[in-house]
Structure 1
C-alpha cells in the first residue's frame, strides 16, 4: 500500500434528543463548528491523519465528519477527497460499531458495490476506520485509512487507531467545553461572537448578512411560576427549534445569555428572511409549552433582525448589525411580543 499520491489537503465546507431510542444523531452545532471555524481541532485532525498514514502506510488517511446527508473530509493526507453522500460512504458503515471497522478488500464484499470511493477514483479496496464521538456520545465522524490495493492491519497498527481516537475525543471534549452552551447545546456567547466576527470578515463584497436577536417572552414570569428546572427545559426546547431553523437556512445559532439568543444568517435575502424568522417564531409557539403568566397562554418568542450588505466599509460592522437587530427586538416587545420586526 504505497502508491504515489499528491499530499494536497482540502478543507471541506455544514441536537438530537439524547433520550431517543437507537443510535444518537449528529449534533449539528458541533458539526458546523468543526467544519468551519475551529483551527485547534483542524490542526489536531491533520496531525492524527499524518500519524495514521505513517503507521499504516495507507495511501490516504483522513478525518471524516458526518451530517445527516453527507460525509465531509476535514483533514486529508495523501490526496484531496470529494464530497460523498452519507448513504454511499464507507464511513457510514464504520460508525455503526464502536470497534475498529476493517475492509481488507472491498471488491470481495457485495455491501460496498455502491460506495462512491470504491466505484470511482481512488477506487478504494482496503479501508479501516474508527468512529469519533462528541462528549455527549453523539457520533461526529470517523478516523480512516484507505488504499486502492488490498491490505491488512497488524495488532500494533490497530492499536494506533484507538490511541488516536482517544487523543481526538479528549481534545474535542476540552474544546467543546469552551465553545458550546451546556444547557442548550448551541454556541455559547463568546464562541458565537467569535464565529460572527470570523464569518463577517470572510464574506465576499456584495454578500448580505442577517443579524437576528431572539428573546423568550415573559421568561422571568415563567421561571417564577414553574421554577428554574422547568425554565431550563423550556430553553432547551426553544433552542431545538432554533437549531432546526439554523440547519435548514444556513444560519449560525447561539445563546447570548439567559433567555436571549442570536442568529447570524449567511447569504441572507431580504425577500425571504422575515418569512423564515416568522416560521421560527411559529415553531416555538407550536411547542405549546404552557405559560399561565403570559397573556398568550403558551411560551413565545420575539425577534428583531437587520440586514447588512458587505462592502469594504461594512466589513467590520458586525456589532452594528446586531445593535440594529437589538433595537428591532425592542420594537417587537413594545408592540406586544410574539412577532418579528425588521430594522
Structure 2
C-alpha cells in the first residue's frame, strides 16, 4: 500500500446484539466518536445542558454517555462530575424507560441506595433524565438534571426534556451521516483524518503517539473467490475486531477505504502497543473466516505501526508518523503477511 499526501492531509488508496433486557447495545463507534469530543456535538451538548438548567432550576445538568462499563459525563453545568460504573449509575435506570424518567426523592426508593451519586457527593435526591439514541435506535446516553434536594417537574419542564432530546438526536443524525462509514460502522476516512490531525495538534510535548495502518491480506482474491457480498461481510467482521481493540478514549480507529484501516493511539507505549496490535491480528485470525485464495487458509491482516514523541521544536507532523507506519506495513507483507511490524 502506498500513501500520498496533499494539502497536509493524509491520503490513501486506502452487528448489534441484544442485552438481557432486550435493549440494543450501544453502537461503539458512535460512543467512541462522542467520547473523543466531536466539536459540533460538544457545543450542542453544552447548549442543551445550559437550557435545561435554566428551565428546571436543578443544581446540575449534563449529558451522560453510556458504554458497556461506564457512565461518562459531557457538558456538565453546575459541577464537574466523576466517571462512575454504569451498574452504579442513575442513567442506567433512566435509559430503560422509553419516556422521561423522574426520581422525586432517591431516599424513598431502595433501588438507588447504592448509586454513586446518591451515596456520595453531590448526594443527589432529585433526578430526571431522558434517553438519547443514535439514528439506528441504539442508546448512547441521556440528558439529565439532578439536585441534592427533592424536587418535581411541571408539564412545561417535562416538555423541555423532549424538545431538547429531539434537538440533540437531530444533530446526531446529521453528524453521524458525515462521520461514520456505513459498511463497517467505524469512522469514515474523512472524519478519521480530521480527528487524527486535531488530536495530534492537541497532544502535549512529551506525549507519544502511535500511528497504525492495517490491511486485510489478499482481499482482492477473497472478493474474486467469494463475491462482493461476502467481502462486505468479511470487512464488517474485521472492523468489529478493530473496534474491540480500540481502548475507550485512547485509540481512534477508522476505515481508510477498501480493505485498509487506520488507528491513532494516544499516549502510546511500545510494549503495550505491540501487545494490542498482536491481539488485534490474532483476533482477526481467530474469526476463522475461510479464504481459499490465501496460503494461510483464513482471512488475516497485516499491520504496520510507528511511535512518535511530540516535541515543540520542531513539532513532528502526523503524516510522517503514518508514512513510517506504512513502511512497516510493507515489511509485514514482504515477510509473509499476518504479522505486526513496528517501525
TM-score (norm 2): 0.91
- Determine whether 1:202 maps to 2:202: yes
Partner of 1:10: none
Does the Cα contact within 8 Å between 1:28 and 1:247 map onto a contact in 2? no
CA-CA distance at 1:249 after TM superposition: 9.0
SS of the residue 1:247 aligns to: coil
Partner of 1:38: 38
- CA shift digits 1:126-147 (9 cap, x unpaired): 1110000111222111001111
- What pairs up with 1:250-289 in 2 under 5 angstroms? 250-289=250-289
CA-CA distance at 1:273 after TM superposition: 2.3
RMSD, matched Cα = 1.5
State the distance in 2 between where 1:296 and 1:69 align. 36
State the distance in 1 between where 2:169 and 2:132 align. 7
Partner of 2:113: 113
Consecutive unaligned residues of structure 2, counting only runs of 5 or more, are 1-14
CA-CA distance at 1:59 after TM superposition: 1.8
SS of the residue 1:97 aligns to: coil
Partner of 1:135: 135
- CA shift digits 1:303-334 (9 cap, x unpaired): 11111111114634110110111111112112
State the distance in 2 between where 1:198 and 1:249 align. 14
- Determine whether 1:190 maps to 2:187: no
CA-CA distance at 1:20 after TM superposition: 3.9
Partner of 1:160: 160
Counting matched residue pairs gives: 327
Q: 1:248 to 1:56 in 2, by over 3 A?
A: closer
Consecutive unaligned residues of structure 1, counting only runs of 5 or more, are 1-16
Does the Cα contact within 8 Å between 1:200 and 1:316 map onto a contact in 2? no
SS of the residue 1:285 aligns to: helix
Q: Could you tell which deviates more after superposition, 292-301 or 268-277?
A: 268-277
- CA shift digits 1:165-184 (9 cap, x unpaired): 11100100100111111111
- Determine whether 1:71 maps to 2:71: yes
Partner of 1:18: 16
Does the Cα contact within 8 Å between 1:201 and 1:315 map onto a contact in 2? no
Does the Cα contact within 8 Å between 2:18 and 2:25 map onto a contact in 1? no
- CA shift digits 1:93-148 (9 cap, x unpaired): 10111111011111111111111111222221111100001112221110011112
TM-score (norm 1): 0.91
State the distance in 2 between where 1:315 and 1:26 align. 37
Partner of 2:232: 232
4+ aligned runs moved over 4 Å, structure 1: none
State the distance in 2 between where 1:20 and 1:115 align. 24
Bigger relative CO (Cα 8 Å, ≥ 6 apart): 2
State the distance in 1 between where 2:106 and 2:259 align. 51
Partner of 2:82: 82
CA-CA distance at 1:185 after TM superposition: 1.0
State the distance in 2 between where 1:188 and 1:155 align. 41
